[in-house]
Amino acid sequence: MSEHHTKVLIIGSGPAGYTAAVYAARANLKPILVQGIQPGGQLMITTDVENYPGFAEVIQGPWLMEQMKVQAAHVGAILMSDTIKSVDFSKRPFKVIGESGAVFMAEAVIIATGAQAKWLEIPSENKFRGYGVSGCATCDGFFYRGKKVAVIGGGNTAVEEAMYLTNHASEVTVIHRRAKFKAEKILQDRLFNNPKIKVIWNHKVEEIVGTEEPKSVTGLKLTNVSTNEVLELLVDGVFIAIGHRPMTDLFKGQITLDEHGYIAAKLGCTETNIPGVFAAGDVQDKVYRQAVTAAGQGCMAALDAERFLAAKG
């Protein structure tokens, strides 16, 4: 069993984690970053990225994460392939244990474990993910200018995604398995008043249909949940908007979470209720959920950790 001591331990390796590593390393804090079960986070399943600043041409999500990883290592961060299984934030130095049995003792911890979009979990969804199936309208809506798209869901996220997509798509169809939305009334009113949006109630997605060459979505097979009748719908893209799940199971009982399971960070910074523990990216951000905002919070977390350590001497 190996034991590692560090001033700053970073848990997670998406844009927030890698950016925190870059800033902490440049502050000579010699951070250790534990990459977790999916190094690179959600961008590893994102194909075209054209809203990350600094790149005039479309770039690939996995390529962007590989560049961040190389940069973090280049400036001196230690990257470790392990997954954290338990944490003890009851006293400093904090004790964190990996699946490998490795023990990490850290004066400060930055949590950047992210969140995962909830998916329908049907085979055709996996087949076309990144080729017409998306979990983020603000990331991918631009690719559907003048096209027909569907949004799956009935909560605030689904209604907001549908409204956003009307800026690009010619027609937006919201598909909900129930007879009414769970979304806030004011959002529903806006949706019902938008001429570009129609709603199909009481239907679930049975299959996402598409072509092999080139791989792209062409439509949906829907089933009426009451009658089992099948409805076919022609669309060019499908946005799954049934919510996100923050990756915080590991931290329950150790740190304050909000009612949705996100880490409760203090307003305007990345501090949590535990002095010396910071949270950055989608693990604490349920509003923006963008690679660039996650990276910005990674920078903030490293600076917050640096100031915390300096104050502790």
The arithmetic mean of pLDDT across residues 24-43, rounded, is 92
The arithmetic mean of pLDDT across residues 254-279, rounded, is 96
Which residue from 52, 32, 204 is spatially nearest to 125, judged by alpha carbons?
204
The first and second tokens of residue 42, run together, are 């959600």
Residue 117 and residue 135 in contact, taking contact as beta carbons nearer than 8 Å = yes
Q: How many CA atoms lie within 13 A of 152 on its CB side?
A: 27
* Composition of the chain by helix, strand, coil, percent to 5: 30, 30, 40
* pLDDT over 70 percentage in the chain: 99
Residues in the chain: 313
Torsion of CA 293, 296, 298, 299, to 10 degrees: 180
**Whole-structure pTM value:** 0.80
The first and second tokens of residue 237, run together, are 């893209």
Domains in the chain, ordered, with CATH? 3-116+244-311 (3.50.50.60), 120-241 (3.50.50.60)
The arithmetic mean of pLDDT across residues 16-45, rounded, is 92
Q: What is the pLDDT of residues 100-109, one digit of tens each?
A: 999 999 999 9
Q: What is the pLDDT of residues 269-295, one digit of tens each?
A: 999 999 999 999 999 998 888 999 999
Q: Inform me whether the pLDDT recorded for 139 exceeds 90.
A: no
**Active-site residue list:** 136, 139-140
Q: What is residue 123's three-state secondary structure?
A: helix
Question: Computed over its alpha carbons, how large is the radius of gyration of the chain?
Answer: 21
Residue 34 and residue 10 in contact, taking contact as beta carbons nearer than 8 Å = yes
What pLDDT was estimated at residue 47? 66
Residue 68 and residue 15 in contact, taking contact as beta carbons nearer than 8 Å = yes
* CA atoms of 223 and 202, how far apart (whole Å): 8
DSSP letters, 177-209, are SSSS--S-HHHHHHHHT-TTEEEE-SEEEEEEE
Q: What is residue 278's three-state secondary structure?
A: strand
What pLDDT was estimated at residue 65? 95
Q: What is the pLDDT of residues 49-67, one digit of tens each?
A: 888 999 999 898 899 999 9
The first and second tokens of residue 259, run together, are 């009612």
* CA atoms of 111 and 248, how far apart (whole Å): 9
Residue 10 and residue 106 in contact, taking contact as beta carbons nearer than 8 Å = no
